[in-house]
Amino acid sequence: MLLSKNTFPLYTRESPTKLFSKNNFSSSFDKYKIVPSFKYEKRSMKNITFFSSPNNQHFSLKVVTNAPSIIMDDEKEIISQNANDGIGIVEFFEGKNILVTGGTGFLAKALIEKMLRTTPKINKIYILIRAKDKEAAFNRLKSEIIESKLFKCLEEIHGEYYKPFILNKLIPIVGNIYEPNLGMDIITSQQIAQQIDLIIDSAANTTFDERYDIALDANVNGPYQLMMFAKKCKNLKLLMHYSTAYANGEREGLILEKPFSMGESITKEKINSISPYTNFPSLHVDNEIDLISKLKNNITNNIGLEQIMKNLGVERAKLYGWQDTYTFTKAIGEMIINNMRDEIPILILRPSVITSSYKEPFPGWIQGYRVIDPSIFLYGKGELPAFYCDQDTDVDLIPVDVVVNATMAAIAKHGYMQSPQLNVYHLATTLVNPIAIHQLFDYCYEYFTLFPFVNSKGDKIEVKEMKYFDKISDFSNYIWEVLSKKHKVQDLSEKELLKIHMRFKRKVEFLNNFSKLYEPYGFYRGRFHTGNMRILMEEMSEEERKNFEIDASNINWKDYLTRIHISGVKKHVFEGKKLPM
């Protein structure tokens, strides 16, 4: 999840409601909860044994269900016995042709680097890039990927052969995921459809409070167009889609790795759990598209349209039980994929808050000003003396290289299987290695005490221990108090006092809005079950666990944040640039 602005243009198209017609979808949940244990050969699976939870009987089936996996003690032993040969991660990627969307983004770029570094026998990686022509697409590939600091390790490995190697592997494709055929020309789309073995979908608009129409276009229409294209790919072994763990919305307690189906909503779940016969409107994307269309038709000019659309996204999200427009539309995007998949094998990965690299290709690499970073750096600059939250709430962090490793392992596992099913993985840490908000800021306090920022006058900025408030009014009052103490207002004229008052007011309003944006996460009451990730780790060989490390339980968060992450953001995001407010 990002806070940084990623704005995509809204493309007009004929009959948007027809695109998302209910007739295009079918939804069903499997009857039983089934936990698989796998035994692999290098390129094929020897057998699959399943356990049915209702009566604990054994079945031999060709496919597994969509239900979440919970590892029982007797199953752990079987998994361990079958894990000697590992998954065969490196072997799976050999000779594969892969289409990647969102390839210039933070996560996909890290994944591309890892695939090239650890599986050099991969055939081609086609990267869908928004550009006016092939030359512009190649220039973006060159500047944003090939010449990126992230690829320095790969360059050191190949030396003078680095550019020939990478230019042979990476193929820029002019396109747009929000258009039919992903915006590719007819000939290119046909060639790609015939060649690719795997689709990796990392394209998204990740702004929390994006305009509702733009967010739907990016996070819902994008997956729709991708699924339409995937059905043309005859050799497709797997489609992998990145979502977010927070697409689970305002659910509380232990949240299982369960797919979403069109029509369901969190509000409906809560109401039916209390009163099963109470009707609540089902969530259908065609209704949301109709709503936007009617609203736009009733607006005679574009004055205020942006704010209206922003407010609408938040209102619709809250109505159905999601925190914000981003998580709401990502959940609907998952519903689209589930209902359109037919026989296509689908893998949905839901990372929590992705942070800088823990180890690979080197510690601290990051691209962009991400979810936790605005809070950290505002605090370090002395601009955020308090935080509106429950200080004991866990913040779920996961380094990008752990996400990348889990991605490659899960792709290999389900790519070998090629079963027409949808599998969901939470890539999260609160159950295995939690860190509370107050711990996060305690570590930041230690860092900025040792390495303080310097203001424009050359003075070191002193930070104090963070204060926490669970009422926004108390938070606002405290900010006023801090500002008043920091800026002397004695012996000033009425005009000067008014000017300072207005500056204080703008500062408080900014921090209030900032805090409200993060409010759902500062009081979050859910924890993400990671049973599938645990099974994956058990199935990996010792060598795979070393080369594709996915166990985040041993991360020392204090060491990571103070030694790696904050320094990494300084270096890779703000080096040579002025820090934002």
Tell me the three state secondary structure of residue 133.
coil
In angstroms, rounded to a whole number, what is the distance separating the alpha carbons of residues 494 and 505? 16
Q: Is-contact 108 119, C-beta < 8 A?
A: no
Q: Which of 126, 242, 326, 521 is catalytic?
A: 326
Burial class (CB in 10 A: 0-12, 13-18, 19+), 70: middle
Q: Is 40 considered catalytic here?
A: no
Q: If we measure between CA atoms, which residue out of 354, 343, 415, 404 comes closest to residue 199?
A: 415
Q: What is the DSSP string of 207-262?
A: -TT--HHHHHIIIIIHHHHHHHHHTT-TT--EEEEE--GGGGTT--EEEP-----T
Q: Is 524 considered catalytic here?
A: no
In angstroms, rounded to a whole number, what is the distance separating the alpha carbons of residues 62 and 420? 9
How many Cα atoms are found within 13 Å in the side-chain-facing hemisphere of 152? 8
In angstroms, rounded to a whole number, what is the distance separating the alpha carbons of residues 303 and 297? 14
One-letter amino acid at 320 equals Y
Q: Which of 109, 114, 330, 413 is catalytic?
A: 330
**Residue entry with tokens 């699959």:** 48
What phi and psi, each to the nearest 5 degrees, are found at residue 199?
-115, 130
Q: What is the DSSP string of 419-479?
A: -S-EEEEEE--TTTS--BHHHHHHHHHHHHHHS--B-TTSPBPP--PPEEESSHHHHHHHH
Residues 6+ apart with CB under 8 A from 112: 100, 103, 125, 127, 145, 170
Cα angle, residue 11 at apex, residues 15 and 13 outer, rounded to 5° = 20
Catalytic site residues?
Answer: 326, 330
